[in-house]
């Protein structure tokens, strides 16, 4: 009996360790994204550099989570909610790594923008960043709290982010077309790629919310879209 309790304790500790690593990874990815965009908006190259350097710790955490999750699957053969927890944790870590990748990409492009004289169009990035960050934070809240309703609500917000992304791209493209100075076109082009990275942050955040719904309800709603996803959850 004592051995059984000891094994169970090891299993629960292993699950907690993986979950703790996922939360640490989310915190780092959020900080990297904030540093990258704030570095751009405030013309602070050091913040951009921090986002680039800290991305490696996110990569290390993803490898750690994968390794520990595989070990849990092999040693303890979890079932039901515990199995979903391991699978969802691995999926979330993959999306967090991609969000941090986008933060690194933004930081690198921001540093290129900072090599040029200041342009007023940079301010166009801030509202899009705030939308993407809000979706990301609520995706993690949905995952950690098991809040499926909040997770489903992110579809509409991600759609609004997509629309804002397209609008800014269109505006920047027009300004590039009418800009007589080739030198000024270069920072515009970097802003276009930054906007695209922020749009991808929204996509990965929705994926995280979907994994939270899978963990909470045992329903896989990936690739269904908002309406079919809602129907699946109502009919379970």
Quick check: 119 pLDDT over 60? yes
Q: Judge whether residue 223 has pLDDT over 50.
A: yes
Rounded mean pLDDT of 144-158?
95
Give the residue, 81 or 23, on which the prediction is more confident: 23
Report domain extents, the chain. Answer: 2-235
Burial class (CB in 10 A: 0-12, 13-18, 19+), 78: middle
pLDDT of 43-73, one tens digit each? Answer: 999 999 999 999 999 999 999 999 999 999 9
d(CA 183, CA 188): 10
Q: What is the pLDDT of residue 183?
A: 66
Beta-carbon contacts of residue 95 (< 8 Å; ≥ 6 apart): 204, 205, 207, 208, 211
Among 21-30, 50-59, 80-89, 176-185, the least confident range? 176-185
Tokens 């800290």 sit on residue:
54
Architecture of the domain made up of 2-235: Up-down Bundle (1.20)
């Amino acid at each position: 009996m004592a051995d059984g309790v000891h094994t169970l304790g090891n299993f629960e500790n292993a699950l907690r360790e993986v979950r703790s690593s996922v939360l640490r990874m989310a915190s780092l990815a959020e900080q990297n994204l904030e540093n990258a965009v704030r570095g751009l908006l405030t013309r602070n190259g050091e913040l951009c550099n921090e986002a680039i350097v800290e991305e490696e710790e996110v990569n290390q955490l993803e490898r750690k989570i994968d390794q520990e999750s595989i070990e849990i699957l092999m040693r303890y053969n979890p079932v039901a909610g515990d199995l979903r927890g391991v699978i969802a944790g691995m999926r979330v870590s993959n999306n967090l790594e991609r969000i941090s990748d986008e933060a690194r990409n933004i930081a690198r492009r921001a540093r290129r923008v900072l090599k040029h004289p200041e342009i007023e169009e940079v301010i166009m990035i801030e509202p899009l960043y705030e939308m993407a960050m809000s979706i990301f934070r609520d995706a993690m809240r949905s995952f950690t709290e098991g809040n499926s309703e909040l997770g489903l609500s992110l579809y509409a917000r991600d759609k609004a982010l997509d629309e804002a992304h397209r609008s800014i791209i269109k505006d920047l493209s027009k300004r590039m077309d009418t800009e007589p100075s080739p030198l000024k076109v270069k920072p515009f082009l970097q802003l276009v790629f930054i906007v695209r990275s922020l749009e991808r942050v929204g996509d990965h955040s929705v994926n995280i919310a979907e994994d939270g719904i899978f963990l909470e309800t045992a329903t896989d709603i990936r690739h269904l879209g908002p309406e079919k996803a809602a129907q699946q959850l109502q009919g379970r």
